[in-house]
């Protein structure tokens, strides 16, 4: 099978030392396709409303490089000294005088002084040549979809179109997103429903939201396949950060829908109630949209000083050690489509305290689930976990990539297990 794989998002992430959840999915799909000798992979990217082919030999090296850097095999941290300060703060016998916090991102200049590595990647494609013939187009990164031209052209060519929709949050909860993101994502989802042959979703909840959107908008409903996302190899039992003082971890972009201002208000109350026995909190994630309230807490609250820490970029190696050593991973989000860190925590056997929302009920039913606005309930759960280390259920069956790709293979007409052995074709 000849598959056009949309690599637009991965190419735009070339300079990142730490991936987002969607980035991980895009990389996993690229590796899966390249591993199958019964698939010829044709990497493409979007350019001005159409798709252009990316040089195959370069793409193969690019994927190998991303895996190496995102696995932490190289020095994946943007600031190794920052990681060292974070570990020193957590392992100190007494509460440090100051928190360890990544500086907020600098404003993006209107005209970068030099071409970045990301910019240069866009010259690794053939701008003029027509797309090679193919059987199927696969898009798992939401890129290119806001403009219907590429999907429409593929439909006209008789190429099957398969799209993975991660969530509908910008449409259903635009208040948590950048201005304009709701309209843009509305177009992505509507174009997908109009022109995709079939759609993959990461949870039954996302599938329900997609069908509700299609019904409300009067749009076609292609076949929808629910395939829970798999986990990276690092997110299994292993070495943990050892500390004398208990700590908790939140993993995810610092943005409004993650409910972190609420969480930090709880931490201030915990500090007032527990004094020197109050646990530490580590926020692992990049600064996102509408993070001012979180920054105000981190930078100005004397109650949180030396108690709450934040790190924007850490390698998978350190991230998993931090999660394993925590009393619990916290996931107080107001809304999610899948919530990969919550699933990763349970896969590692780490206790999880999470908001009582549909994706958590679907994916982590044995976690401690609390309404995302129930302040007293959250305080009681964290205080109990601080004083008595909780034990997570060992019966959790984590979703995995082989299971995910079995569903995808069936959906697109490939054998669940590749019938051949040998090196990947097509690059």
Residues 275, 273: Cα–Cα separation, whole Å: 6
Q: What is the predicted pLDDT for the residue at 106?
A: 64
Residues 3, 43: Cα–Cα separation, whole Å: 8
Question: Any idea where the domains of the chain sit in the sequence?
Answer: 2-70+114-230+400-412, 83-105+236-387
Query: pLDDT digits over 372-397, tens only?
Result: 999 999 999 999 999 998 887 777 88
Q: Provide the angle, in degrees to the nearest 10, between the axes of the packed helices 260-274 and 375-387.
A: 50
Residues 279, 385: Cα–Cα separation, whole Å: 10
Rounded to 5°, the CA angle 353-359-364 comes to 45
Residues 207, 228: Cα–Cα separation, whole Å: 11
Other residues' Cβ atoms within 10 Å of the Cβ of residue 31: 15
CB burial string 34-49: b at 16+ within 10 A, e below: bebeebbbbbbbbeee
Q: Any idea which fold 83-105+236-387 has?
A: Rossmann fold (3.40.50)
What letter would DSSP give residue 130? P
Rounded to 5°, the CA angle 112-116-117 comes to 170
Task: Please indicate whether the domains covering 2-70+114-230+400-412 and 83-105+236-387 agree at the CATH topology level.
Answer: yes
Q: Which CATH number applies to 2-70+114-230+400-412: 3.40.50.880, 3.40.190.10, 3.40.50.2000, 2.40.30.10?
A: 3.40.50.2000
Query: pLDDT digits over 349-374, tens only?
Result: 999 999 999 999 999 999 999 999 99
Looking at the predicted structure, is the pLDDT value of residue 118 above 50? no
Rounded to 5°, the CA angle 421-422-423 comes to 140
Assessment of whether the complete model's pTM goes beyond 0.85: yes
Query: pLDDT digits over 247-283, tens only?
Result: 999 999 899 899 999 999 999 999 999 999 999 999 9
Strand order, beta sheet including 2-6:
50-53, 40-47, 2-6, 136-139, 160-165, 198-201, 224-226
Residues 186, 180: Cα–Cα separation, whole Å: 10
Q: Is 342 exposed, middle or buried (0-12, 13-18, 19+ CB in 10 A)?
A: buried
What are the strands, taking DSSP E only, across 160-284? 160-165, 198-201, 224-226, 247-251, 280-284
Q: What is the predicted pLDDT for the residue at 424?
A: 44
The fraction of the chain above a pLDDT of 70, given in percent, is: 89
Would you say the C-alpha torsion 206, 212, 218, 220 has a positive or negative sign?
A: positive
């Amino acid at each position: 099978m000849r598959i056009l794989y949309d690599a637009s998002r991965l190419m735009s992430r070339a300079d990142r030392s730490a991936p987002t959840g969607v980035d991980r999915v895009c990389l996993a799909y690229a590796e899966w396709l390249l591993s199958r000798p019964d698939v010829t992979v044709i990497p493409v990217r979007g350019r001005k409303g159409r798709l252009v082919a990316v040089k195959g030999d370069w793409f193969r090296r690019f994927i190998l490089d991303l895996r190496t850097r995102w696995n932490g095999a190289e020095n994946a941290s943007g600031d190794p000294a920052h990681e060292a300060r974070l570990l020193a703060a957590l392992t100190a016998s007494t509460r440090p005088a100051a928190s360890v916090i990544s500086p907020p991102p600098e404003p993006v200049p209107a005209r970068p002084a030099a071409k970045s590595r990301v910019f240069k990647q866009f010259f690794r494609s053939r701008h003029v040549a027509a797309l090679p013939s193919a059987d199927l187009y696969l898009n798992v990164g939401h890129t290119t979809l806001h403009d219907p031209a590429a999907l429409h052209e593929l439909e006209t060519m008789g190429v099957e179109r398969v799209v993975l929709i991660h969530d509908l949050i910008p449409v259903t909860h635009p208040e948590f997103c950048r201005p304009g993101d709701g309209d843009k994502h509305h177009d992505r989802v509507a174009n997908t429903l109009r022109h995709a042959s079939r759609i993959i979703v990461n949870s039954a909840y996302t599938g329900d939201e997609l069908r509700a959107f299609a019904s409300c908008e009067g749009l076609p409903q292609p076949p929808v396949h629910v395939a829970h996302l798999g986990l990276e190899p690092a997110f299994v039992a292993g070495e943990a950060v050892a500390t004398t003082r208990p700590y908790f971890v939140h993993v995810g972009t610092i943005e409004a829908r993650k409910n972190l201002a609420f969480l930090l208000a709880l931490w201030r109350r915990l500090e007032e109630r527990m004094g020197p026995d109050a646990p530490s909190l580590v926020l692992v994630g990049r600064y996102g949209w509408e993070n001012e309230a979180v920054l105000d807490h981190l930078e100005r609250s004397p109650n949180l000083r030396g108690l709450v820490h934040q790190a924007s970029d850490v390698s998978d190696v350190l991230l998993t050690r931090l999660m394993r050593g925590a009393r619990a991973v916290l996931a107080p989000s107001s809304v999610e489509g899948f919530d990969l860190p919550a699933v990763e925590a349970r896969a590692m056997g780490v206790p999880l305290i999470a908001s009582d929302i549909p994706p958590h009920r679907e994916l982590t039913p044995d976690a401690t689930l609390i309404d995302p606005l129930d302040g007293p309930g959250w305080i009681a759960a964290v205080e109990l976990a601080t004083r008595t280390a909780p034990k997570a259920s060992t019966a959790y069956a984590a979703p995995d990539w082989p299971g995910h790709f079995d569903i995808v293979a069936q959906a697109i007409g490939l054998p669940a297990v590749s019938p051949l052995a040998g090196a990947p074709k097509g690059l």
